[in-house]
């Protein structure tokens, strides 16, 4: 069906809402360990933001019985874009609901959809403003987090998800392909950096991670040292290291409920209209980690389930091809499963 309605003018990835089973344990992880600021909290939910952020929150932790992704929030350019969003998604034929201001604490009127790839997404403009702590160095920890940077979602059909987000006006900065028409992953943006959303092939719809940005690498390394000092280093899943895709320095953590958080810094500008797409071959071992350790299985296979707009778990389906079964990445000893003459990448015994 041809879409006749224009998409809403999305500015950026703005907030996520997690269901957590132990609010106090989650509070320790996100406030005491990561240093996010509490904008509001009660027995049911904690609303958090990072130091550069002046909107009410970029992360909501809501108490519940099963860990899940409750919502991804995109900010649009103005309230007028809510009508555009409502018309666009109703034409796509997905569950589309207009919700009044305050449905999510601190957020104005919004449009909520279960999008065509199965995720619960909210589009909003109005939000309560709060103090921006950019220069409150008197309270920044040595691991200060600046802002929410992106979402990464696991989807069984990366091509379909890529087409949906292209229709929503997102640009493409990088991809992982195999030259045989398979798209294993894609990084897509509205703000002028590498991505607001990454599409990772896998059982989905599930949330792979939410990423927060720091200004510099040393802030990421300090989080690692703090976790080691506390004997809580098991929260580190992958990294620290340097990504091939995005060129960012990264660390992946798992929170007490298993939700994955990436701490990320130093990607690059993508704002010119002729920004070239960087296409990585799935056999290139440096695509996911430019150097460093093999990508652990849990990073490829584990993710947070998603809820629909009524709070019910969205069923997941599996991809036809799995990247990790073709080549893991960063593993200097993996052997490409393809005919090696076609892939001049370091494999196995080659050094
Ligand atoms: O933000 C990201 C940037 C790069 C990568 S990858 O592991 O280098 O593909 C993963 C990621 O999507 O988390
Ligand atoms: Fe990421």
Q: Give the tokens for residue 313.
A: 């778990």
C-beta of 84 in contact with ligand 1 (< 6 A): no
Residue 336 has what pLDDT? 46
State the Cα–Cα distance between residues 173 and 339, nearest whole angstrom: 28
> Distance of CA 312 to CAs 74, 102, 217, 234, 257, Å?
21, 22, 39, 30, 18
Q: Is the CB of 243 under 6 A from ligand 1?
A: yes
The ligand whose atoms approach the alpha carbon of 200 most closely is 1
107: helix, strand or coil: strand
Q: How far apart are CA 209 and CA 143, in angstroms?
A: 19
The atom of ligand 1 lying closest to the CA of 245 is 8
State how far the Cα of 317 lies from the Cα of 141, in Å rounded to an integer. Answer: 41
CA of 195 to the centre of ligand 2 (A): 8
Chain position carrying tokens 């409750």: 70
Question: What's the rounded Cα separation, in Å, for the pair 25 and 44?
Answer: 13
pLDDT of residue 334: 52
Distance 63 CA to ligand 1 centre (A): 29
Residue pointed to by tokens 């569950």: 95
Count of CB atoms within 10 A of residue 121's CB? 22
Cβ(248) to ligand 1 under 6 A? Answer: yes
Task: Indicate if ligand 1 lies below 6 Å from the C-beta of 246.
Answer: yes
Given the CA of residue 176, which atom of ligand 1 is nearest to it?
A: 9
How far is Cα of residue 109 from the mean position of the Cα atoms in its chain?
A: 24
The strand ranges marked E within the chain are 10-20, 37-41, 45-49, 59-63, 68-76, 96-99, 110-114, 120-124, 147-155, 171-177, 183-189, 197-201, 206-213, 236-242, 249-254, 260-265, 278-281, 304-305
Distance in angstroms (rounded) separating the CA atoms of residues 152 and 176: 14
Over the stretch 75-86, which tens digit does the pLDDT of each residue have? Answer: 999 999 999 999
Report yes or no: 239 and 233 within 8 Å, Cβ to Cβ.
no
- Tell me, what's the pLDDT at 326? 87
> Which residue's CA is minimally distant from atom 9 of ligand 1?
288
Cα(254) to ligand 2 centroid in Å equals 13
85, two tokens: 């969003």
SS3 341: helix
State which residues of the chain have pLDDT below 50.
Answer: 335-337, 342, 349-351
Closest CA relative to residue 265, chosen from 243, 284, 282:
243
Q: Within a 13 Å sphere around the CA of 191, how many CA atoms are in the beta-carbon half?
A: 18
Q: Is 263 in the pocket of ligand 1 (CB under 6 A)?
A: no
Distance 165 CA to ligand 1 centre (A): 18
User: What distance in angstroms lies between residue 84's CA and the mean position of ligand 1's atoms?
Assistant: 31
Tokens at residue 298, please?
Answer: 């849990």
Number of the ligand 1 atom closest to the C-alpha atom of 150: 1
The CB of 244 under 6 Å from ligand 1? The reply is: yes
CB 147 within 8 A of CB 133: no
Q: What's the confidence (pLDDT) of residue 345?
A: 59
Q: Which of 248, 259, 267 to mutate to test the pocket of ligand 1 (most atoms within 8 A of CB)?
A: 248
Mutation probe of ligand 1 site: the residue of 148, 149, 250, 298 with most atoms within 8 A of C-beta = 250
Q: Cα separation of 3 and 1, whole Å?
A: 6
Decide whether any atom of ligand 1 lies within 6 Å of the 188 Cβ: no
Structure tokens at 175: 């991809």
Closest-CA residue, ligand 1 atom 4, reads: 245
Label residue 287 exposed, middle or buried (CB < 10 Å: 0-12, 13-18, 19+).
buried
**First and final C-alpha spacing in the chain:** 51
Ligand 1 neighbour 152 (Cβ under 6 A): yes
pLDDT at 1: 63
Q: What's the 9 CA to ligand 1 centre distance in angstroms?
A: 25
Question: Which is the closest atom of ligand 1 to the Cα of 299?
Answer: 7
270 is written with which tokens?
């993508």
Helix %, strand %, coil % of the chain (to 5): 20, 35, 50
Kindly report the length of the chain: 351
Query: What ipTM was predicted for this assembly?
Result: 0.99
């Amino acid at each position: 069906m041809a879409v006749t309605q224009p998409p809403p003018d999305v500015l950026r990835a703005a907030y996520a809402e997690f269901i957590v089973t132990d609010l106090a344990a989650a509070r320790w992880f996100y406030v005491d360990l990561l240093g996010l600021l509490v904008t509001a909290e009660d027995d049911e939910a904690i609303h958090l933001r990072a130091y550069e952020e002046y909107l009410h929150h970029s992360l909501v932790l809501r108490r519940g019985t099963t860990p899940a992704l409750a919502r991804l929030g995109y900010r649009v350019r103005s309230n007028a874009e809510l009508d555009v969003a409502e018309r666009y998604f109703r034409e796509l034929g997905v569950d589309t609901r207009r919700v009044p201001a305050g449905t999510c604490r601190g957020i104005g009127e919004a449009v909520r959809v279960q999008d065509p790839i199965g995720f619960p997404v909210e589009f909003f403009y109005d939000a309560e403003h709060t103090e921006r702590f950019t220069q409150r160095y008197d309270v920044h920890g040595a691991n200060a987090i600046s802002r929410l940077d992106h979402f990464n979602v696991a989807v069984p059909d990366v091509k379909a998800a890529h087409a949906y987000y292209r229709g929503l006006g997102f640009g493409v900065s990088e991809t992982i392909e195999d030259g045989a028409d398979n798209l294993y992953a894609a990084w897509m943006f509205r703000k002028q950096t590498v991505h607001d959303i990454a599409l990772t092939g896998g059982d989905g719809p599930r949330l792979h991670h939410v990423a927060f940005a720091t200004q510099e690498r040393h802030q990421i390394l300090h989080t690692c040292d703090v976790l080691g000092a506390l004997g809580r280093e098991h929260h580190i899943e992958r990294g620290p290291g340097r990504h091939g895709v995005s060129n960012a320095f990264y660390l992946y953590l798992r929170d007490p409920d298993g939700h994955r958080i990436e701490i990320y810094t130093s990607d690059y500008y993508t704002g010119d209209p002729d920004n070239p797409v960087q296409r990585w071959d799935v056999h290139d071992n440096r695509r996911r980690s430019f150097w460093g350790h093999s990508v652990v299985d849990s990073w490829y296979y584990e993710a947070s389930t998603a809820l629909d707009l009524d709070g019910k778990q969205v069923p997941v389906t599996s991809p036809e091809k799995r990247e990790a079964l073709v080549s893991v990445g960063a593993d200097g000893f993996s052997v490409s499963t393809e005919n090696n003459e076609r892939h001049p990448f370091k494999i196995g015994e080659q050094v």
